[in-house]
Structure 1
Amino acid sequence: MKSFDYARADSPEAAVAAGGRFIAGGTNLLDLMKLQIETPEKLVDISRLDLADIEERADGGLTIGALVPNSDLAADRRVIKGYPVLSRALLAGASGQLRNKASTGGNLLQRTRCYYFYDTAMPCNKRDPGSGCSAIGGFNRILAVLGTSDQCIATHPSDMAVAMRALDATIVTLKPDGDRRRIAIGDFYRLPGDTPQIETVLEGGELITHVELPPPPAGTQLYRKVRDRASYAFALVSVAAIISVEDDRIASAALAFGGLGPMPWRNPAVEAALVGNAPSTAVFEAAADALLAGAKGSGSNDFKIPLTRRVLIACLRDLTGGTA
């Protein structure tokens, strides 16, 4: 690990003024620093800021501090009752020890687990722009089939962010000039395009302070994660789904997917294929067609496309009882 300066902030305003990389739980950043993938000149410790509370909002939603540990968020009674998809997604990720340290804000900013991103001997456009993408034509079993580019096929690894995407979360930030932003999670992440090293819309020195959830949605919630082993593995494909059925028809639907793209993936065409229709295999197949219309395998991850179809249809059947 290369040497760096260290400062401890006593307020969000002091943190953004300090200039440097923010560190809270450090469950991802410290690993990247040890491998010299990340080499910040200065770390700003925000772990003691007053951002670790979960508060009820006047509209019935929740405001979640960026420093709320994943374990606390998963166990919160309001989350379990109103947002079970989020609690289940958190419990599906990592180990109990990591959940005790990992923060809400840090979880949103996790970097890819692409093998080549972690191997500094191999070209990687996300790590070293312009060097090439070793995963294209290499071993890419865990990598993306949606939203990729000729520069990068990396996936976003977070389970929590997938559930947040289905719940239409809003990310609240503080900028060094004192301005605050509220960013819909659907606008927060960037596709790789020609600049895969730029992963979010955050500006330099901008700090996530809170995440806001709207009031609990109507319907039944589900989080399903398919992975290579039963625990402590990243998703090959995951589904966060919220479906309500009224008068034997799907009244509302929100679906987000992990393990498939460079961000928590949500496609309005999938939901449009469901809403207003009676649950049936034909309708579920149409939703899968909409999701996978632009899917592109890269060799060893080709299997993700039929796997995703099967997982999505199984989830929809479980949520609606539709089998016709």
Structure 2
Amino acid sequence: MAVLVTGAAGFIGMAVSRALLARGEQVVGIDNLNDYYSPHLKMDRLAVLHAEGGEAFTFDKVDFGDADALDSAIGEADFDRIVHLGAQAGVRYSLQNPRAYAHSNLIGHLNLLELARHRDIRHLVYASSSSVYGGNAKLPFSVEDRADHPVSLYAATKRADELMSESYAHLYRIPQTGLRFFTVYGPWGRPDMAAWLFTDAILNDRPIKVFNHGRMQRDFTYIDDIVAGVLACLDHPPTDDGNEKPGGNRTPHAIYNIGNNKSEALGDMIAIVEQACGKAAIREYQPMQDGDVPATYADIDAIRKLGFEPRTPLSEGMPRFVQWYREYHARRF
């Protein structure tokens, strides 16, 4: 049986698909290839998956927010697990185009839950986000912390996904795992993320925007570590023992943080990018953006029980991204 990967042409979706193919799995990939950022980058990612996966990788362009289109696209494809990574990403863009988030992140997530329900899926792993913690001042962020004060619509949709999944786990006993990702970066990353934006600007002698006047901290997590966490969770679906726990029923639904377990100053990250680029950045200090938070930091004690351990420090991962960025643009242009 294969694994259905949504958002297969995306940053994390491509990386997870590559890892599944490398260990001998068959992957059914879907993505709507929208123009939130360059579709050419998405097509280049798919070209790698087709080259490396051969017949083990199949792909359909489909909007999973459209239930009929989703059913038509996957047809009779055989898969018994789902890794649902597709979503409308971006905190700031949710202020400009909120309906795109309702369509992809709310209706789309519901469509995947219905798919899992009717196909008797063994395990649904889905992407949440560290954004659900909002302006939580307690560091590090723990999955036990409250997450009911989102500061962006994007965060609100991701928290809603977790709640919908909890209800489906309760009603239909579908094993599910939600993953709160923390600032993912690395080769094949997204052009709207800081690693790409800073690298591109520095190499082309343009200024970089440094928000909150540089008083920012992030738990930067390298893509290879993220993939290791996703596969560890996929291979360990939560159990359903049918027993009750204080406050309600026990459901086969787990939520984990996946981060580097280290909160680093934005200025330190910029310095690493500068060194890797061989140029100093032109910094434009700006106030905090709406929907943003000053710091993130992942408590990963829960996922460590599955054998997850981040292995890539920022000092190693960011130069790898810069090197990939140079090579990718040298090939493409």
TM-score > 0.5, shorter chain as reference: no
Higher helix share: 2
Q: TM-score range by the shorter chain?
A: under 0.3
TM-score (structure 2 length as normaliser): 0.26
